[in-house]
Amino acid sequence: MKQSRPRIKRIHLGRRVWSICFVLGMMIFLPMSAISSPFDGFWSKTKRNHTDCNYSAEADITFVTDADGVTRAESADVLGTTKGKVTGNTYVFDYGIKNGVPSGKATFSMSKDCRSFSGTFSDVNGHKGNWSGKRNSPFDGFWSKTKRNHTDCNYSAEADITFVTDADGVTRAEAADVLGITKGKVTGNTYVFDYGIKNGVPSGKGIFTIGDDCGSFTGTFSDVNGHKGIWSGRR
């Protein structure tokens, strides 16, 4: 007798074209838990002028805020070890800390254009004066968990971004794989840039604008594949 083969139920998936939105949706983003402030980032040639004597000097400072919300000044030997908090657009901190004891205190306030600060300092030896600084771009520094929402499909995601402006005034986004290679310029409080650059050719364009609090931005993005949406961030 001819044996009949058991019927096997086959599921035919067929060919499907996976959209970039679905592929991105399968990606897992692990944003950093850091907290940051409007001061965070690099400040070139900050200036201090003593009022107790005829002396002035310049120093580069990089401000970094940790996960506990404590802001410190790095690469600034003149300040020594620092520790402070930012409330709104004002940074109050101790400096010259040794064995937990500070030798001075300072207060810096951010300007409305988010590019400069001014403030005062004083120490236990009677030295005091004014301190000011200016940075290359109001975007420079670390931005935690920036959010993009696609309007071309049902997809949203988060990513940490660090913006850096070089000596030529070109601003780039670092540590942001989702953007790839970027290049752009900041005019006022608005950053217009290309992203996904390969062999000199960009795949998309973005426009970000800093908020009045100097600690947030909002903007839009779009690429050659029709993907577009809204992007926002907070330091």
CATH of the domain at 96: 2.40.160.90
34-87 pLDDT, tens digit per residue, is 567 889 888 889 999 999 999 999 999 989 889 899 999 887 778 999 999 999
Same domain, 92 and 147: no
The pLDDT of residue 6 is above 50: no
Total count of domains within the chain = 2
Does the pLDDT at position 189 exceed 90? yes
Whether pLDDT at 14 is above 70: no
Q: What pLDDT is recorded for position 221?
A: 97
Task: Give yes or no: residues 177 and 201 share one domain.
Answer: yes
Q: Can you tell me the distance from the alpha carbon of 234 to that of 204, in angstroms, rounded to the nearest whole number?
A: 22
CATH number, domain with residue 145: 2.40.128
> Range of 95's domain?
41-134
Q: Is residue 3 part of a domain?
A: no
Q: Say which residue the tokens 């402070």 belong to.
A: 84
Query: In terms of domains, do 54 and 100 share one?
Result: yes
**Position with higher pLDDT, 167 vs 21:** 167
**172 bridge partner residues:** 164
Q: Measured between alpha carbons, how far apart are the two ends of the chain, in Å? A: 78
Least confidently predicted of 18-32, 51-65, 141-155, 199-213: 18-32
User: Which phi and psi angles does 121 have, rounded to 5°?
Assistant: -145, 155
Instruction: Please tell me whether residues 222 and 145 are part of one structural domain.
Output: yes
Average pLDDT for the chain: 85
pLDDT > 70? residue 109: yes
Query: In the prediction, which pLDDT does 204 show?
Result: 97
167 belongs to a structural domain: yes
Q: What is the C-alpha to C-alpha distance for residues 45 and 28, in angstroms, rounded to an integer?
A: 40
Indicate if 99 and 171 belong to the same structural domain.
Answer: no
Residues 52 and 84 in one domain: yes
Residues 47 and 103 in one domain: yes
Return d(Cα 29, Cα 160) in angstroms, integer.
9
Q: Which two tokens stand for residue 128?
A: 């005091």
